[in-house]
Amino acid sequence: MTSVFFVAGAFVAPFFLHVLFFRKLSIQRINPLRTVIFYFDGLILLITAAFLGILSHPVSSVLMYILLSACVSWLSFSACIPGTAPTSAILSSFDKKKRQTETELERLFTVDSLLRTRVDSLISQGLVVKRGRKYFASDKGKKLAQVIRVYNIFFNRVRSG
């Protein structure tokens, strides 16, 4: 049981640092992806505790910490964050009004909310580059697109178009 408390304790400080800096950098339109580095501090602490014999289940404690950190990191950069994806915007809108017409749902979106904010985000992350009036994928963006293609093929989510 001490291993569970140790993992939780090692996770709390990096989690709050991750959230704090993620929010700060997001507001400043700086790529917040680097905030996951805080989880490495907790990982080093756990590995050290494992080598010192403090943890009753060292391997499973480290694996649990890695899994927990990976899940929180993934969620913080995914469509689960309100306002970052049409799905979350639609579902969040039901908090304000329980029943809505299709027209009311369509009013949730503008060109800015659907396109410009995403393009700006891709540019700030270095995935897309703008030259003049044209946009193109950077090398980093091309690599991510390849990962997404493989992921979609793996989960049979091949898109048309």
- Report residue 99 as tokens: 């029943």
Indicate if 132 and 93 belong to the same structural domain.
Answer: yes
Domain assignment of residue 28, yes or no:
yes
Indicate if 67 and 108 belong to the same structural domain.
Answer: no
Domain assignment of residue 148, yes or no:
yes
Domain assignment of residue 98, yes or no:
yes
- Report residue 87 as tokens: 């799905």
Structural domain span for residue 150: 86-154
Query: Mean per-residue pLDDT for 34-45?
Result: 87
Q: pLDDT tens, 98-152?
A: 898 988 888 888 777 778 878 887 888 888 999 999 999 999 889 888 887 887 7
Domain assignment of residue 18, yes or no:
yes
Q: Please provide the DSSP assignment of 67-94 as one string.
A: HHHHHHHHHHTSTTSTTSSHHHHHHHHH
Rounded Cα distance, 62 and 11, in Å: 11
Amino acid at 89: A
- Report residue 35 as tokens: 């905030």
What is the pLDDT at residue 82? 46
Q: pLDDT tens, 65-101?
A: 999 998 887 766 664 454 456 777 788 788 888 898 9
**What percent helix, strand, coil does the chain show, rounded to 5?**
70, 5, 25
Count of domains observed in the chain? 2
Domain assignment of residue 46, yes or no:
yes
* Terminal-to-terminal C-alpha distance of the chain: 52
Domain assignment of residue 159, yes or no:
no
Indicate if 128 and 63 belong to the same structural domain.
Answer: no
CATH number at residue 113: 1.10.10
Indicate if 68 and 48 belong to the same structural domain.
Answer: yes
